[in-house]
Amino acid sequence: MPANRPVMSPAHLTRLPVVTCLPILARLMLAGVSLAAQTARPDSTFATVSGIVYDSLDGHPLAGALVQMVPRSNTGGLRSVRTDSSGGFRLTAVPPGEYLIGFWHVTLDSLGLDVPPRALSIDIGAPLRIALDIPSASAIHATLCPSAEPGDSSGLLLGFVRDADTGGRLVGGVVDLSWTELVANKRGIHTVRHDVSAKADPAGWFAQCGLSSAGPIAAFATVRDNESGIIDIAIPPHGVLHRDFSVPVGAAAIAGADRDAGMSDSSAPSGGPVRHGNARLAGKVLDEHGKPLAGAQIVVWGSGIVTATGDDGTFALSGLAAGTQTVETRYLGYAPGEKVVDLASGRTVSVTVTLDDRVNLLGAVTVYGKHKGPLKGLAGFLERRALGFGRFITQSDIAKQRPARFTDILQGIPEIKVIPSGDIHYTLVSTSGSALGGPCHPEVYINGTRLVNVDDLDQFLEPADVTGVEIYNGLSDTPAEFQGKGLCGTVVIWTSPHMDTAQR
């Protein structure tokens, strides 16, 4: 499957002439109207036009759609009607003649799509039954991604980049997307990382073709120096996913203090300082039977702010940045739950999280291997720290952070980025990789043993068990006992009982 496709925007699409009496212009050249004339013996010179407006993308009728019909030769004869709860509409006493008919709905506006009006011929007294629809996913995909090869299962993401507080469309937005795929070739089976950027047009609209449907994609939006949070998205095969991204701008984007000032900050998606604000999140966590779960852990990705539900399953978080964010819920015996929320400054967003995916609890995981040289435990940790090379996180530092998972400990470290790699997994990427031709993974040691895979650290490392972490930016900084290749940095993790508590 091709990993990269050109970013498509409305400028690539043919537009139809403006129809001033209809609320939208034709951006997509898709026939969204099908007509089925039913012959009936006319009892007058007037006709009845009825039908249904349907959302082919989501598969349900559209209530509240504005249907408009106008004579081709007389714009003063505009007729309008709203669809009912079942998507139906009815226009009576329509004189015979040539008409244009179309519809508008907020869904079209949010997608950035305009369905063109259709010519309609009405005979004397002949009733018409009409179906109007939003184009299907396959039709939209074929129109916006014409270069897709036969058998290509890739999908399309489209939407708007918006102001988190006002909902207005922002100029200069970019949506960054990252995912990994398994590739089999002569060298064997290995993972390949893909990174693409979808640039929004002057109206804030973006579309990106060629996205993998094989697994989750990590996505976030930026507008100049401001960023949304990271979210995971899933693209249906050959399909279309609509997702707007809200970004805090102006007063809504408040940079947090850096880590060394004692704040429990976590990094922004790009590795820069996190942004706090005055947005609030409140909600309730329920099990599969609708019963509240007390003690569930709640964290908003990248915020460094963690809380737990009370006896009634409710929680509240404050000091959050506005914009599109991911709230993660963890409870023993259940797979973690993720929910995307759009936060705004000075407002409280309420959510209900239902955990219904029970998992079998695993026993302790033992990492086998040989370490290099003698391990001195606490003494070795303090000796290396005193030399002034590298960065050191002590147990007291970790306690101040109150991390929900191990990788939270590394959030905000300039040398390391913590990037979602799909589902509940996170991977470590070294910021020194730019000097080596692109992102790369640091080497990771646990109690002196080098790991092969750095994607699943949260699965067998609990923050409460970690007694110290050492981070080295390159081979020259890394102590001899932890030097492998080391070109992309090294992370050394210590857990009890290999060390006692390391204090400042």
**Of residues 250, 239, 248, the one with CA closest to residue 274:** 248
Alpha helix (H) residue ranges in 60-136: 106-111
Question: The dihedral of CA 391, 395, 400, 403: what is its sign?
Answer: positive
Distance from the first to the final alpha carbon of the chain: 51
Q: What confidence score (pLDDT) does residue 258 get? A: 39
3-state secondary structure 317-384: EEEECCEEEEEEEECCCECCEEEEEEECCCCEEEEEEECCCECCCCCCCCCCCCCCCCCCCHHHHHHH
Per-domain residue ranges for the chain? 31-134, 138-247, 272-354, 378-495
Q: Dihedral through CA 151, CA 153, CA 154, CA 155, nearest 10?
A: 110
What pLDDT does residue 185 have?
63
Tell me the pLDDT of the chain (504 aa) as tens digits: 444 433 333 333 332 222 333 333 333 333 344 433 333 444 568 889 999 999 888 888 999 999 999 998 876 788 999 999 999 999 998 888 899 999 998 888 778 777 888 889 988 777 889 999 988 888 888 888 887 666 677 889 999 999 999 999 999 999 999 887 666 666 655 567 788 999 999 999 999 998 988 778 889 999 988 889 889 898 887 788 999 999 998 877 664 433 333 333 333 333 444 567 899 999 999 999 999 999 998 988 877 788 999 999 999 999 999 999 999 898 888 888 889 999 999 999 999 999 998 875 545 455 444 444 444 566 778 888 877 778 899 888 888 877 878 888 887 777 787 876 654 567 787 776 544 455 678 888 888 888 776 667 887 788 888 889 998 877 667 887 887 655 678 899 998 765 443 333
Quote the CATH superfamily of domain 138-247: Immunoglobulins (2.60.40.10)
Q: Give the three-state DSSP class for 484.
A: coil
Task: Tell me whether the omega of the peptide bond preceding residue 135 falls within 30 degrees of 0, making it cis.
Answer: no
d(CA 162, CA 322): 11
pLDDT at 486: 55
- Does the domain formed by 272-354 have CATH 3.40.190.10? no
User: What is the model's pLDDT at position 148?
Assistant: 66
The span from the CA of 275 to the CA of 255, in Å, is 4
Homologous superfamily of the 31-134 domain (CATH): Immunoglobulins (2.60.40.10)
pLDDT given at position 341: 96
Domains 272-354 and 378-495 share a fold: no
Is-contact 36 131, C-beta < 8 A? yes
The partner residues of 427 in beta bridges, in order of sequence, read 419
Contacts of 368 (CB under 8 A, 6+ apart): 449
pLDDT, residue 475, reads 66
Global pTM value = 0.62
> Residue 219 has which token pair?
């996505």
CA 48 to CA 93: how far, in whole Å? 6
Identify which of 220, 231, 31, 251 has the alpha carbon closest to the alpha carbon of residue 140: 31
Fold for domain 378-495? Ferric Hydroxamate Uptake Protein; Chain A, domain 1 (2.170.130)
Instruction: Give the pLDDT of residue 75.
Output: 64
Give me the pLDDT at residue 44, please: 67
Tokens 């226009």 belong to 91
Provide the CA 54 distance to its chain's centre, in angstroms.
27
Tokens of 227: 């960023």
